[in-house]
Structure 1
Amino acid sequence: MALLRFKYNDSNDDAGFKCGGTVINNRYILTAAHCVQPHQLFYVNEVRVGEWNISASDCEEGEVLNCADSVLDLKIEEKSYIHKKLSLNNTFHKQTNYVWPICLPVSETPDPSVGSTMTVAGWGVTKNGTTSNAKLKLLVPIVSRDYCNTKLANSDGVDSTQICAG
């Protein structure tokens, strides 16, 4: 996984880590499109790979890379508009047990079945409303889109390009 560090557009001050991403090779990080929208108050300045705990100095330090640009992946765009690739200015060379590209499914891969479980991971918001300094993982059950759409009645809901879990 990768951490995305942001800077504010108006001041260039550090805005901290706001999103995560997935290493797909040593030049690209896959992330949610809302993380790299150009109209945001901040922009992705750097990517950190190989990090576990962003507040600890006792571990091996992750590798920090600058971002070149965000680009839409045409193959991903055909199915969904919710992902973007971040292009890196330089490649990273530290492939370890902690930094390794993910294997992306082919387009014919069926969605996971309702009742099965998937693992989600990241430094996101926890149940007390704060973000975690250490990477966390959680097994979540897959639930039906109908169930999600009932629970998300005041939003755009979940369409056929998305998986509902929780």
Structure 2
Amino acid sequence: MKIKVASVFVVLLIQLSWTVAFDFPEPGTCGLDASDRIYGGNITKPNSYPWTAILVFKERFNRHDLFHCGGNLISDQYVLTAAHCLDGLSRRYSLNRIRLGEWDLLSDEDCDSVGNCNDPPLDIKVESTVQHEEYDKYTLYNDIALIKLKEKVKFTEFVLPICLPIAESVKDQNTDSMNFTAVGWGNTEHGNDTYEYGSRYKLHVELAGANLTHCDEVYEEDILETQMCAGAEEGKDTCQGDSGGGLIAQVDGIYYEYGIVSWGYGCGQQGVPGVYTRVTSYLDWIESHMTD
């Protein structure tokens, strides 16, 4: 009997170690979208998807800002993004800060046509970054990274974290049959003084989950279980979102991040899905690299 009790105690300690190692936001604190999501085509409302982040790089010589890649706020101090976003620029640029609560890239005041306005966006300096230790920049396997902010974020209607699919009921969803959303400003690899190659306003696009076997056949190369695919409908792809941004889905009224925008061929081609890093495969890695 003593052995059984000890075994149960050890199991409980193992289970508790996940919950106490880092205090993730609870569903209801994370994953809430106060807007009715979309109007005027693919343009979102100013307060929609409040976890969306932009990585802002600064040129070393003339100090010019460059919006390059997206990410999602997952706690009051961490942004989840793709590893390739942290090494995809020349040595002239370095990651300077993260912008949260943004909607209109060309306006200091984010207001829609009927006068609904956001709080001013937040620019927060970066304390540190970590790429997955087995990230491969050629295959883009393990394409995941964390960014720690220099200061903790106060949650508001316009800045909230996305939930991670930690609970078994959301973790074990069949992503092949799910409907997802990708959010961003299009190709944001341009300075903040122009939107010539992207959207001025935050956009979203709806994408259907794609079977991994089909995805493997399309690309004629190994798509791993740690990856997932979505899209393949003509005219819809994550070139309408941001590399490093999240592939999100709503479960019981709460938004969860299931994928990270990683790579694909072309943009919006019929029958060609995009490839994403599967977040549920990296929950332990994420938790182990987050500290208060």
If the length of structure 2 is used for normalisation, what is the TM-score?
A: 0.48
Structure 1 CA distance for aligned equivalents of residues 203 and 88 of structure 2: 29
Q: Does 1:101 align with 2:161?
A: yes
Distance verdict in 2 for CA 1:71–1:61, change over 3 Å: same
Structure 1 CA distance for aligned equivalents of residues 152 and 62 of structure 2: 24
Structure 1 CA distance for aligned equivalents of residues 62 and 76 of structure 2: 27
Structure whose alpha-carbon radius of gyration is higher? 2
What secondary structure is seen at the aligned counterpart in 2 of 1:135? strand
Contact 1:149 1:157 (C-alpha < 8 Å) held by counterparts: yes
Structure 2 CA distance for aligned equivalents of residues 163 and 48 of structure 1: 27
- Other-structure match for 2:224: 159
> 1:65-91: per-residue Cα shift (whole Å, max 9, x none)?
1111102478xx8xx721111111122
Query: Percent of counterpart pairs with the same letter?
Result: 29
What secondary structure is seen at the aligned counterpart in 1 of 2:217? helix
What secondary structure is seen at the aligned counterpart in 1 of 2:67? strand
What is the 5 A alignment of 1:3-14? 3-9=54-60, 11=61, 13-14=63-64
- Other-structure match for 2:147: 86
> 1:60-114: per-residue Cα shift (whole Å, max 9, x none)?
320111111102478xx8xx72111111112222x22221111111285225342
Structure 2 CA distance for aligned equivalents of residues 143 and 57 of structure 1: 39
What is the 5 A alignment of 1:109-148? 109-125=171-187, 130-148=197-215
How far does residue 34 in structure 1 lie from its aligned partner after superposition? 0.6
Question: Which ranges of structure 2 fall in alignment gaps of 5 or more residues?
Answer: 1-51, 111-118, 136-140, 189-195, 232-292
> 1:23-76: per-residue Cα shift (whole Å, max 9, x none)?
0111111111111138843221110111111112332320111111102478xx
What secondary structure is seen at the aligned counterpart in 1 of 2:216? helix
Contact 1:148 1:157 (C-alpha < 8 Å) held by counterparts: no
Question: Which ranges of structure 1 fall in alignment gaps of 5 or more residues?
Answer: none
Distance verdict in 2 for CA 1:67–1:123, change over 3 Å: same
Structure 1 CA distance for aligned equivalents of residues 148 and 179 of structure 2: 31
Aligned partner letter, 1:90: E
Contact 2:59 2:66 (C-alpha < 8 Å) held by counterparts: no
Distance verdict in 2 for CA 1:97–1:63, change over 3 Å: same
Distance verdict in 2 for CA 1:44–1:144, change over 3 Å: same
* Higher percent of residues as helix: 2
- Other-structure match for 1:32: 82
Structure 1 CA distance for aligned equivalents of residues 205 and 123 of structure 2: 26
Root-mean-square deviation (CA, aligned residues, Å) is 2.7
- Other-structure match for 1:49: 100
What secondary structure is seen at the aligned counterpart in 2 of 1:35? helix
How far does residue 157 in structure 1 lie from its aligned partner after superposition? 4.8
Count of residue pairs the alignment pairs up: 156
Aligned partner letter, 1:36: L
